[in-house]
Amino acid sequence: MSGAAGDKTFCEFFAGIGLVREALGASGWSCIYANDVDPKKRALYESRFGDEGHFHLGDVWETAEVVARIEGRPRLATASFPCVDLSLAGHGRGFEGRHSSTFFGFIRAMEQLGERRPPLVLLENVTGFLTSAGGKDFEAAAMALAALGYRLDAFTLDAAMFLPQSRPRVFVVGAAEGLSPPGTVLKPPSGWLADAWSERVESADRRIRPARLVDLMRSIDLPTGWIAFDVPAPRGAPPHVATLIDRDDGQDWWDAAAVSRHRDMMHDRHRERIDATAASGGSFVGTIYRRKRDGRTRAEVRFDGVAGCLRTPRGGSAKQIVIVVEAGRIRMRWMSPREYARLQGAPEFPLVSNTIQNLFGFGDAVCVPAVQWIDRHVLSPAFATGIPEARRTPRGRQPDARPAPADDAGGAREEHVA
């Protein structure tokens, strides 16, 4: 029996400000539980969705409370678990770090749900997830999900496929054994010379299934097996970043001294190009990141119409700068929270009064149209095929639910650093 619309329920772990919910709600998914440890992100979440009583402001390792708060059997669980130990800023800690290891708090909760475990799971994280610990962290996550009875697929998407923001991310989809999503093919036992699974993953657009990911999927022998959804690359081009930037005089433009200082930080090639545009009376709208290069701070301009990856504002170098050249003038300012919201695909999302709080929320969130693309091609079609009978975790295949470190900060979403 196909899934009934009223049963299209999900719970979101590491919910942040709720952009996964923002994406899934468009096709009728109903959130029945949300978890995060950050009260400031909860404030943004509730500014959008209201105080419905199911937001659990607490540690994901509080397994008993998590399970008690989840009513019935949700059809989907999403987990955008902390990436800080998997990103370039994580110093290679991976799952040994106290932030990203909260993934196993999520696994423990899924295990304890037993027969109420969702038949679908969606993970999201930075592409460093594929290389952390030489691929061992990705393998550990895959094996933990397989121990719960999920067959897995994985692919990458960049926000730049939909919006003018560079934000590549890895997504892992788990489908319970017994669920038969339309169009999926199963990886056969090793030794087969040719098969539909290999043909699908190897012929796919490399932006969706990069070689590093395909190699990992080939090398990890899951007890449940790998599947491959039919996930075509998004078509079309995103709009230019200029279409999302406010250029009126009411913005907080910097004074001449600040503009001159950042102009002087530019590489010669960047500065010459900006100066030539101003001298010719031409126009240019773009973004700047401040970065450390060879021991000095550089202001690096993007000229490709795409903003850099939005980050949480830990210091000035993590905040993007808007640069506008018009009528011979060069203007600069910090990117606004509303522009952050537009670059994440949530242009009308309510803001709170604190600018830094807004920037943290959106800088540590998912791209709405990327999740909607996954929903359209993977989640909703899988839901529509019907929900298999719930099963307990098979004996001898217990998940790697690692104990929480004594000093763990809990189930917070941490900043996503490219």
Rounded to 10°, the helix 211-219/196-203 angle is 160
Torsion of CA 53, 57, 59, 63, to 10 degrees: 0
Q: What is the CA radius of gyration of the chain?
A: 22
pTM check: above 0.85: yes
Q: Looking at residue 91, what is its pLDDT? A: 54
Backbone angles phi, psi at 86, to 5 degrees: -100, -15
The tokens describing 138, both together, are 């990705």
Cβ-count burial 1-13 (b if 16+ within 10 Å, e if not): eebeeeebbbbbb
Please tell me which residue in 11, 31, 83, 367 is annotated as part of the active site: 83
pLDDT digits (tens, 9 = 90+) for 246-295: 999 999 999 999 999 999 999 999 999 999 999 999 999 999 999 888 88
Nearest to 258 by CA among 315, 334, 312: 334
What is the number of other CB atoms lying within 10 angstroms of the CB of residue 252?
9
Q: Looking at residue 1, what is its pLDDT? A: 39
State the Cα–Cα distance between residues 242 and 10, nearest whole angstrom.
Answer: 36
Domains of the chain: 5-237+362-384 (3.40.50.150), 247-335 (no CATH)
In Å, the largest CA–CA distance within the chain is 73
The verdict on whether 309 is a catalytic residue reads no
The DSSP result for 78-116, as a single string, is EE----TTTSGGGTT-GGGSTTGGGHHHHHHHHHHHGGG
Q: Looking at residue 93, what is its pLDDT? A: 60
Do the Cβ atoms of 242 and 285 come closer than 8 Å?
yes
Per-residue pLDDT of the chain (418 residues; tens, 9 = 90+): 355 656 999 999 999 999 999 999 999 999 999 999 999 999 999 999 999 988 999 999 999 999 999 999 999 999 998 765 456 555 556 545 455 578 999 999 999 999 999 999 999 999 988 988 888 999 999 999 999 999 999 999 999 999 999 999 999 999 998 888 888 999 987 756 668 999 999 999 999 999 999 999 999 999 999 999 999 999 989 999 999 999 999 999 999 999 999 999 999 999 999 999 999 999 999 999 998 888 888 999 999 999 999 988 875 567 899 999 999 999 999 999 999 999 999 999 999 999 999 999 999 999 999 999 999 999 999 999 876 666 555 544 444 545 444 444 444 444 444 4
